[in-house]
């Protein structure tokens, strides 16, 4: 959520920056400024009347002490009127603040100057590419065929139990899935991240805190009876650990990693691009989260990108790094890098990770601040990244490493799987 001070002082610059997202925020930002002026005027009036009320109360007490009850009672009538007006002003102030919040909740984060203009993922900027695209043997098949051939994943059984998008992993498929989770966690811990196991459901405050609500309400599974939401990513519960927290500057860097299942409705998803593991309603992911000092958050972003690149290097997968354009940038992000792995059998690039700096946007919603010495608390910066999302990584490993004699397991995973080939 944008800060009111920033909107007041830099409205025109913010309007210009948001055009990179293909958004004209003129009306919303102007409305916020007008409402904020009303809010401050109302608050000033309340404070003035409170001072008058306190002065009258003191005067009434003195009059009663000196036996001037008639004069005191006359002043009490005036205080009753002031109290009634104060209640009216308090209600007005609450309405104004709610109106401001409602508008602020629908304004996305300001893109970093590095974010390129563009309307869709087709205009994302490819900035790096690593590894060699494998040449597969004649007769190579996509991962959903391999999963069936080697009894690794049963998509039809998932439909029977739950519905489309809820696969059942079996045998070596389940072991490979678990191996990837443990590998990603171990690598993050080596890099200084502290592992946490968060809840898989969050309350409404947590959803608003990281920006999933109200922006992505339709994409989350909602348990209406208890008003809880199944998490779309571990980012939500892990980042909310620090909601309403005041840190010390010496607490940085704060680095957490967590493995969770993730749940996304993905309404409207259909067709060949969502076959197999390409797009699921439930999937596993290891997430890295950092809380950073504002002066160091972009160094932190680079560090996180390099961490994910290191994972892909060790898995021996060909990948590229994309800088998201304004039209593809997430609502809460200031700058995002996507990692895309090449899927040889499908002959396409699959996004396997997003690493983002949200600057102070989430922290303002979360009221996540830090203090430097005796200075006034300031908003921290939040970042997160997939390290990694498993479905498309698993798909790419199966497809890129298939041979006529079976699927070879990347060397780095063999200590975790206990086998080096699926056949």
Helix (H) or strand (E) holding 143: helix 143-149
Which residues line the annotated binding site for ATP?
Answer: 264-266, 351-354
What is the per-residue pLDDT across 353-409, written as a single tens digit (0 to 9) for each?
Answer: 999 999 999 999 999 999 998 999 999 999 999 999 999 999 999 999 999 999 999
Same domain, yes or no, for 92 and 130? no
Sheet holding 406-408, edge to edge: 402-403, 406-408, 421-422
Q: If pLDDT is split at 50, 70 and 90, which confidence band does 269 have?
A: low
- Token look-up 């076959």 returns 275
In 3D space, the residue among 135, 165, 136 whose CA is nearest the CA of residue 153 turns out to be 165
Ranges of beta strands (E only) in 264-389 are 282-292, 319-323, 335-343, 348-357, 369-371, 378-379, 381-389
What is the per-residue pLDDT across 63-106, written as a single tens digit (0 to 9) for each?
Answer: 788 888 878 777 877 788 888 888 999 999 999 999 999 999 99
pTM for this predicted structure: 0.92
Same domain, yes or no, for 142 and 240? yes
- In 3-state terms the chain splits into helix, strand, coil percentages (rounded to 5) of 50, 20, 30
Mean local confidence (pLDDT), 150-178: 97
Same domain, yes or no, for 100 and 126? no
User: Domain count of the chain?
Assistant: 2
Query: Quick check: is 115 in a domain?
Result: no
Query: Quick check: is 111 in a domain?
Result: no
The domain containing residue 328 runs over which residues?
Answer: 121-422
Measured between alpha carbons, how far is residue 123 from residues 116, 118, 368 in Å?
8, 5, 34
Which residues line the annotated binding site for L-serine?
Answer: 233, 264, 287, 384
Same domain, yes or no, for 38 and 136? no
Same domain, yes or no, for 74 and 180? no
Q: What is the mean pLDDT of the chain?
A: 95
Which residues line the annotated binding site?
Answer: 233, 264-266, 287, 351-354, 384
Domain harbouring 28, CATH code: 1.10.287.40
Residue predicted with more confidence, 242 or 86: 242
């Amino acid at each position: 959520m944008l800060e009111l001070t920033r909107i007041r002082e830099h409205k025109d610059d913010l309007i210009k920056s948001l055009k990179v997202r293909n958004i004209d925020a003129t009306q919303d930002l102007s409305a916020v400024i007008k409402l904020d002026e009303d809010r401050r005027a109302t608050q000033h009036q309340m404070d003035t009347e409170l001072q008058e009320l306190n002065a009258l109360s003191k005067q009434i007490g003195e009059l009663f002490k000196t036996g001037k009850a008639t004069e005191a009672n006359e002043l009490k009538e005036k205080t009753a009127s002031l109290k009634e007006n104060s209640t009216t002003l308090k209600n007005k102030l609450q309405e104004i603040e709610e109106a401001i919040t409602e508008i602020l909740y629908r304004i996305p984060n300001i893109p970093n100057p590095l974010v390129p203009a563009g309307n869709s993922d087709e205009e994302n900027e490819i900035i790096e590419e690593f590894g060699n695209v494998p040449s597969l043997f004649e007769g190579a098949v996509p991962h959903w065929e391999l999963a069936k051939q080697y009894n690794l994943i049963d998509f039809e059984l998932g439909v029977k139990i739950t519905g489309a998008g809820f696969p059942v992993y079996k045998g070596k498929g389940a072991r490979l899935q678990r191996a990837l989770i443990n590998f990603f966690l171990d690598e993050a811990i080596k890099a200084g991240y502290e592992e946490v196991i968060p809840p898989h459901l969050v309350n409404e405050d947590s959803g608003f805190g990281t920006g999933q609500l109200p922006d992505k309400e339709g994409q989350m599974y909602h348990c209406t009876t208890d008003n809880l939401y199944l998490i779309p990513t571990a980012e939500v519960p892990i980042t909310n650990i620090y909601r309403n927290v005041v840190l010390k500057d010496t607490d940085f860097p704060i680095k957490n990693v967590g493995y969770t299942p993730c749940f996304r409705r993905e309404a409207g998803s259909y067709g060949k691009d969502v076959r197999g593991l390409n797009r699921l309603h439930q999937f596993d992911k290891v997430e890295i989260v950092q809380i950073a000092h504002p002066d160091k958050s972009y160094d932190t972003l680079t560090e996180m990108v390099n961490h994910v690149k290191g994972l892909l290097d060790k898995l021996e997968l060909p990948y590229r790094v994309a800088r998201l354009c304004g039209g593809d940038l997430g609502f809460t992000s200031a700058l995002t890098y996507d990692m895309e792995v090449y899927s040889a059998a499908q002959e396409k690039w699959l996004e396997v990770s997003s690493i983002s700096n949200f600057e102070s946007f989430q922290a303002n919603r979360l009221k996540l601040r830090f203090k430097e010495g005796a200075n006034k608390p300031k908003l921290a910066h939040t970042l997160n990244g997939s390290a990694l999302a498993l479905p498309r990584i698993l798909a790419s490993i199966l497809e890129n490493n298939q041979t006529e004699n079976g699927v070879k397991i990347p060397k780095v995973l063999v200590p975790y799987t206990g086998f080096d080939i699926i056949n």
